[in-house]
């Protein structure tokens, strides 16, 4: 008998653990190597929420001031696609919000400054409060 049989399940009864439902499929991030992101990226996150479109967020880049940014996904050939956000397991914070785009990652455009060059990121992990829509 496994040691788990003596642990109470959600109802408090030892040895009667039942499945609680389907496990959400993971979110796989695969960003191809290209000029803006020469290292590319390949990661997997455990999803705990439903993906939703996102277009604005608060972000503090490594260089330059933080602020509000428009966010877009990019596919190969720099084609604009919608960015999405989803809650994921984050071992250091419990849950975080994963923001992801297309096969060429994300582009962040400083809101209100059309002359600023876009920032390229493969993905972002942010607090839910940083997502503005």
The answer as to whether 15 is a domain residue is no
**Residues found in the chain:** 133
d(CA 81, CA 73): 5
Q: Bigger pLDDT: 7 or 123?
A: 123
Give the DSSP letter of residue 118. Answer: P
d(CA 103, CA 36): 12
Give the DSSP letter of residue 35. Answer: S
Question: Is 121 strand, coil or helix?
Answer: strand
Number of domains in the chain: 1
The answer as to whether 61 is a domain residue is yes
The answer as to whether 38 is a domain residue is yes
**pLDDT tens per residue, range 16-40:** 444 455 778 999 999 999 999 999 9
Q: What residues make up the domain containing 85? A: 23-130
Tell me the pTM: 0.81
**pLDDT tens per residue, range 41-70:** 999 999 999 999 999 999 999 988 999 999
d(CA 110, CA 122): 17
The answer as to whether 4 is a domain residue is no
């Amino acid at each position: 008998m496994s040691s788990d049989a003596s642990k109470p399940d959600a109802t408090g009864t030892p040895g009667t653990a039942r499945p609680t439902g389907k496990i959400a499929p993971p979110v796989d991030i695969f960003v191809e190597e290209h000029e803006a992101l020469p290292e590319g990226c390949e990661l997997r996150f455990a999803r705990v929420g439903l993906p939703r479109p996102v277009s604005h967020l608060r972000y503090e880049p490594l260089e330059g001031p933080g602020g509000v940014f428009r966010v877009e996904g990019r596919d190969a050939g720099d084609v604009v696609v919608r960015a999405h956000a989803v809650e994921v397991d984050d071992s250091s914070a419990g849950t975080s919000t994963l923001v992801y785009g297309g096969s060429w990652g994300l582009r962040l455009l400083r809101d209100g400054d059309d002359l600023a060059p876009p920032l390229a990121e493969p993905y972002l992990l942010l607090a839910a409060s940083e997502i503005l829509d």
